[in-house]
Amino acid sequence: MPDMQEPVVVSGQQLKRGAFIGGGVLAAILVIGIAVRLLDRNELTARTEAQATPSVTVLHPTQGKGGRNLILPGAIEAWSLAPVYARTNGYLKSWNVDIGAKVKAGQVLAEIDAPELDQQLAAAEANRATADANRQLAQSTAERWQRLVEKDAVSRQDADEKRSELAARSAMANAARAEVDRLRALSGFKRIVAPFDGVVTTRSTDVGALISTAGGSQPLFTVADMRKMRIYVRVPQSDSTSINPGLKAKLTLPEYPGRTFEAELTRSAGAVSTQTGTVLMQLTADNADGLLKSGAYADVSIALESQPNVVRVPASALIFRKEGMFVATVDGQNTVTLKPVVIALDLGAQVEIGAGLAATDTVIDNPSESVSDGDKVQVLDSKAADAKK
């Protein structure tokens, strides 16, 4: 019969050691599990926060380039333009100048035949002669009666009546003389004369034409002084503060390709038109060679000076709110600040900011409509955004 194996006897100390080792292994497993769970949770939290923080592309404003030419349509007008009307009725007897003729001040342009006026003048002169004779008679009578009063030959009342009659006759003589002067002045208007040195630009009458001073009559001639010209332009309100008297401008006309004319801004209306939103301004140009014509169209080029504090950003960086226009900037802690800005010039894809933004600011391009002050963002690499500019 084989020998039987003796049972292994485990001491209490060995049992304790085994239990300690097992407990340590179990504790290590628990610690490792808890650590893994904490790492996973922290990673999930970080990933969630990263997803909750928006990523933005930033850029830096550039200096406004300035030196921009503002090109506007202009209307050229003569320095002085006078339509010459008739001041007396009649028929045109003759005309002496035609369109394009250069005339001097006081030069006779045409003559009017006015027989009715001549008859009125003759009658008025006859009435004046009668009134003068009656005044002289009344004067001699009054003087005679005054001497008789001094001798008590007539009553003082009769002498006063003679003096009153002399005053009335004198007034009538003065009125007759005034009527003669009036008709003589009208008779002088039978000669149509040039009001100043210039050029005849229109003639709208001919020999034998009926001349009337009634309302609605057209001018017989138009005389223009074109030694200097006025050029009127309408400047947009946004550019009106950059244009002041003394500023130089250049004119180009379609009939003179490749040639420019110098002009100077002299006056501004100082008010914005409610219909066009523009300010009317006047320029002057010398026209000694007579190349500029009244009523002509010209392109007016005005060089605008840039303001030193103007910066340029893409139009996509603008935020439109009911409170106004803003730009979102980011500081060193990736915190958003909304800055109100004023647009100095709209160039389409880009805008020039006249106030509210500095060249050192970091601007968010294409910001979210919901962005607010104090928001946290993740700033992406701005090199690519700056390269696009």
For residue 353, what pLDDT is reported? 82
Rounded-to-integer distance, Cα 232 and Cα 69, Å: 17
Domain locations in the chain? 55-65+308-388, 115-189
Structure token digits, residue 150: 């001094």
- Higher pLDDT: 305 or 346? It is 346
For residue 298, what pLDDT is reported? 95
Rounded-to-integer distance, Cα 94 and Cα 110, Å: 5
Nearest to 76 by CA among 251, 217, 214, 200: 251
Tell me whether strands 198-203 and 210-211 are parallel, antiparallel or unpaired.
unpaired
For residue 43, what pLDDT is reported? 62
Average pLDDT in the 144-156 region? Answer: 79
- Lowest mean pLDDT, pick from 66-70, 158-162, 281-285, 359-363: 66-70
Q: What CATH architecture is 55-65+308-388? A: Beta Barrel (2.40)
> Is the pLDDT assigned to residue 98 strictly greater than 90?
yes
- Higher pLDDT: 241 or 252? It is 252
Average pLDDT in the 322-327 region? Answer: 86
> Is the pLDDT assigned to residue 11 strictly greater than 60?
no
For residue 51, what pLDDT is reported? 52
Asked if residue 316 lies in contact with residue 98, where contact means CB atoms within 8 angstroms, the answer is: no
Sorting pLDDT into bands at 50, 70 and 90, what band is 15? low
For residue 86, what pLDDT is reported? 92
Average pLDDT in the 194-199 region? Answer: 94
> Is the pLDDT assigned to residue 388 strictly greater than 50?
no
Report the SS3 class of residue 2. Answer: coil
For residue 1, what pLDDT is reported? 46
Q: What CATH architecture is 115-189? A: Orthogonal Bundle (1.10)
Rounded-to-integer distance, Cα 151 and Cα 146, Å: 9
> Is the pLDDT assigned to residue 213 strictly greater than 50?
yes
For residue 384, what pLDDT is reported? 43
* Angle of CA points 207, 210, 213, to nearest 5°: 125
With tokens 């208007």, the residue in question is 189
